[in-house]
């Protein structure tokens, strides 16, 4: 088998990718929290999944699936899209990542305030950053809205695009 990458021990293999710079202390702590959550859920935070989560956590902007694939590529061999999507699906199921439907992009939720029922994501058109925002009043109002409509919620997509405090008034953004 000439061209095929050695198939065994891919856990170790993926561990040697370009991304393998030592994570910051904060990142390491966040990943440790993720590890704990996964153990509690009885699921496995494998190398691929951890690598994807770390990339999302470290990034200042949301990342697309193909962007992640490129980012996590080792020399000339990038991750297959489906691999990234599988990792993302896992992370989203475990509540560790979030899909921004309005951008087809993904972020880590390890920065979020986990105590709120409803988190809105504020996406800056200028600098691309995303800030989670929540309040009891907002969660309550939404909950009222839903119960008044007798609607049983499963997934909430709450996103606002605009300009963050730092990007207002000096021509940032695209319109």
Partner DNA sequence: TATGAAAACGTAGTGATATAACCTATATAA
Partner DNA sequence: TTATATAGGTTATATCACTACGTTTTCATA
Binding site for a second copy (CB under 8 A): 101-102, 120, 122, 124-125, 131, 133-135, 137-138, 140-142, 144-146, 148-165, 168, 175
Residue ranges in 92-151 that form contacts with DNA under rule CB under 7 A: 99, 104
156 contact choice in DNA, a second copy, none (CB below 5 to 8 Å, kind-dependent): a second copy
Among the listed ranges 27-35, 83-91, 112-120, 161-169, the one in contact with DNA (CB under 7 A) is: 83-91
Q: Which is nearer to DNA, 18 or 141 (CB)?
A: 18
Report the alpha-carbon angle 95-97-102, nearest 5: 120
Tell me which residue has tokens 């008044």.
Answer: 148
- Which residue in 93, 110, 113, 115 sits closest to 33, CA to CA? 110
| Residues 41-60, interacting with DNA (CB under 7 A) | 43-44, 46-49
CA distance 169 to 109: 29
Closer of 11 and 113 to a second copy (Cβ): 113
Find the shortest distance in angstroms from Cβ 44 to DNA.
Answer: 4
Beta-carbon count within 10 A of 2 CB? 3
Q: How far apart are CA 133 and CA 15, in angstroms?
A: 34
SS3 49: helix
Q: Which does 127 bind (CB under 5 to 8 A by kind): a second copy, DNA, none?
A: none
């Amino acid at each position: 088998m000439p061209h095929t990458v050695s198939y065994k021990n891919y856990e170790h293999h993926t561990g040697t990718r370009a991304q393998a710079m030592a994570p910051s202390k904060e990142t390491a702590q966040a990943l440790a929290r993720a590890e704990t959550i996964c153990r509690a859920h009885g699921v496995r935070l494998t190398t691929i999944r951890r690598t994807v989560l770390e990339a999302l956590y470290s990034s200042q902007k949301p990342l697309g699936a193909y962007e992640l694939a490129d980012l996590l590529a080792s020399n000339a061999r990038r991750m297959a899209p489906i691999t990234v999507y599988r990792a993302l699906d896992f992370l989203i199921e475990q509540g560790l990542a979030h899909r921004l439907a309005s951008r087809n992009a993904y972020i880590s939720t390890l920065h979020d305030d986990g105590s709120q029922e409803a988190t809105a994501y504020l996406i800056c058109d200028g600098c691309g950053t995303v800030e989670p925002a929540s309040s009891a009043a907002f969660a309550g109002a939404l909950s009222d809205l839903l119960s008044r409509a007798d609607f049983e919620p499963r997934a909430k997509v709450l996103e606002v695009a605009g300009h963050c405090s730092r990007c207002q008034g000096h021509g940032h953004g695209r319109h």
